[in-house]
């Protein structure tokens, strides 16, 4: 890369279950005036290195070299947008990589702008459990909320958003961290996406509204959880790879379940009872109050517990 060329990066770090696939597949590629970094193609080698190499072998200089080589020379002058759930880590590993990933971003990228999208913890918990069952798990919600009883490591720290955002600000600076809310996306998709346009420095309403007709990664209906859990006990999947029936059968069942889910009403009893979820989320109250102070917004109407 020409040393006189400065590439400015906007790093979208998730969280998972906040419409990320929609942004990556429909929104970012449709914007003119930015360079969207495809993490599954051109920037795949960089993301694999970022994600997979352990702390003792990880080399910031080498990571930067791969990043530079992944970029398109004709796009050097454009804002580069890099988006991946991996950056914010996942609850399954106890969120132990969250701080590591934040520190790696700070070390690799020069003055990046970091954007995090949050979702209230009640909905986040429900959505992760439905995704968990959708991908082949067999655990009840009681087991899901009691990771000490089995191999799944679900970290309450994953849901302590205030602590996480504070660390991001400590590392990158308040002016280079933007917090968005998935609830705003659900309430007014156009206004939410135009917020993204403002962040990225492109003209508002420059995207085709028809992209809103697409829904990426829809949720399993809570009403179908018992059926899916039972079938998952026999079909191989990413969660249980060595069961009696082949893995491709699980894929077929999942498609049928999702078609049925689309026809069922969205309202109704949640997969995890509200009382149990509220008890589990008590640890998030203090962190949510910290988050309110950071963003200067009343988060109670958005469903954030303890605010």
Domains of the chain (ranges, CATH numbers):
9-295 (3.40.50.300)
- Predicted pLDDT of residue 242: 87
Task: Give residue 2's pLDDT band: very low, low, confident or very high (50, 70, 90).
Answer: very low
State the average pLDDT over residues 231-259: 90
Is 9 a residue whose pLDDT tops 50? yes
- Predicted pLDDT of residue 202: 92
- Predicted pLDDT of residue 7: 58
- Predicted pLDDT of residue 5: 46
Report the share of the chain in percent with pLDDT over 90.
Answer: 71
Task: Give residue 93's pLDDT band: very low, low, confident or very high (50, 70, 90).
Answer: low
Is 167 a residue whose pLDDT tops 70? yes
The lowest-confidence range among 47-56, 62-71, 224-233, 265-274 is 265-274
Task: Give residue 1's pLDDT band: very low, low, confident or very high (50, 70, 90).
Answer: very low
Is 210 a residue whose pLDDT tops 50? yes
- Predicted pLDDT of residue 163: 95
Report the share of the chain in percent with pLDDT over 70.
Answer: 94
Instruction: State the burial class of residue 249 (Cβ atoms within 10 Å of its Cβ: 0-12, 13-18, 19+).
Output: middle
- Predicted pLDDT of residue 123: 96
Task: Give residue 152's pLDDT band: very low, low, confident or very high (50, 70, 90).
Answer: low
pTM: 0.91
- Predicted pLDDT of residue 17: 92
Q: What is the crossing angle of helices 44-52 and 60-70, to 10°? A: 160
Cα separation, 182 vs 192, whole angstroms: 9
> For residue range 23-48, what is the model confidence (pLDDT) as tens digits?
999 999 999 999 999 999 999 999 99
Tell me if 184 sits within 8 A of 120, measured CB to CB: no
The lowest-confidence range among 85-94, 130-139, 203-212 is 85-94
Cα separation, 17 vs 150, whole angstroms: 24
Is 170 a residue whose pLDDT tops 90? yes
- Predicted pLDDT of residue 13: 95
Structure tokens at 294: 């950071």
Is 169 a residue whose pLDDT tops 80? yes
Is 4 a residue whose pLDDT tops 80? no
Q: What single string gives the DSSP state of each residue in the chain?
A: --TT----EEEE---TTSSHHHIIIIIGGG-SSEEEE-TTTTTHHHHHHHHHS-TTT--HHHHHHHHHHHS-GGGTTSEEEEE-GGGG--TTBTTTTHHHHHHHHHHHSSS-EEEEEE--HHHHHHHHHHHHHHTT----HHHHT-GGGSS-B--GGGG-HHHHHHHHHHHH-GGGEEEEEHHHHHH-HHHHHHHHHHHHT--TT-S-GGGGG---SPPPPGGGHHHHHHHHTTB--SSSTTSSB-HHHHHHHHHHHHHHHHHS-S-S--SS-HHHHHHHGGGGHHHHHHHHHHHTS--GGGT-TT-
All residues at 6 or more sequence positions from 69 whose CB lies less than 8 Å from its CB, including other chains: none
Structure tokens at 223: 């009403």
246-252 long-range contacts (CB < 8 A, ≥24 apart) are 250/136
Number of CB atoms found within 10 A of residue 132's CB:
22
Average pLDDT across the chain, whole number: 90
Is 65 a residue whose pLDDT tops 90? yes
* Residues forming a β-bridge with 35: 80
Task: Give residue 3's pLDDT band: very low, low, confident or very high (50, 70, 90).
Answer: very low
* Residues forming a β-bridge with 10: 81, 113
Query: Strand 34-37 vs strand 79-83: parallel, antiparallel, or unpaired?
Result: parallel
Is 279 a residue whose pLDDT tops 90? yes
């Amino acid at each position: 890369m020409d040393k006189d060329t400065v590439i400015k990066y906007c790093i979208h770090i998730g969280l998972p279950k906040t419409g990320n696939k929609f942004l990556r597949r429909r929104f970012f590629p449709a914007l003119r005036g930015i360079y969207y970094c495809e993490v599954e193609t051109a920037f795949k080698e960089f993301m694999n290195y970022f994600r997979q190499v352990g702390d003792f072998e990880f080399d910031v200089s080498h990571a930067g070299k791969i990043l530079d080589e992944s970029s398109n020379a004709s796009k050097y002058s454009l804002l580069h947008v890099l988006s991946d759930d991996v950056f914010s880590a996942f609850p399954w590993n106890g969120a132990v990589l969250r701080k590591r990933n934040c520190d790696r971003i700070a070390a690799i990228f020069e003055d990046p702008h970091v954007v995090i999208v949050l979702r209230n913890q009640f909905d986040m918990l429900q959505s992760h459990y439905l995704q968990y069952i959708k991908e082949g798990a067999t655990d009840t919600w009681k087991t899901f909320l009691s990771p000490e009883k089995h191999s799944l490591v679900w970290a309450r720290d994953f849901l302590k958003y205030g602590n996480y955002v504070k660390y991001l600000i400590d590392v990158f600076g308040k002016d280079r961290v933007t917090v968005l809310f998935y609830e705003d996306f659900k309430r007014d998709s156009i206004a939410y996406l135009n917020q993204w346009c403002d962040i990225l420095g492109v003209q508002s309403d420059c995207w085709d509204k028809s992209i809103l007709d697409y829904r990426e990664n829809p949720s399993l209906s809570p009403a179908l959880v018992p059926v899916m859990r039972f079938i998952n006990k026999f079909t191989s999947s990413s969660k249980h790879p060595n069961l009696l029936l082949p893995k491709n059968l699980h894929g077929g069942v999942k498609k049928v379940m999702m078609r049925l889910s689309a026809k069922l009403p969205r309202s109704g009893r949640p997969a995890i009872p509200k009382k149990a979820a509220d008890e589990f989320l008590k640890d998030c109250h203090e962190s949510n109050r910290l988050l309110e102070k950071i963003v200067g917004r009343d988060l109670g109407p958005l469903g954030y517990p303890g605010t």
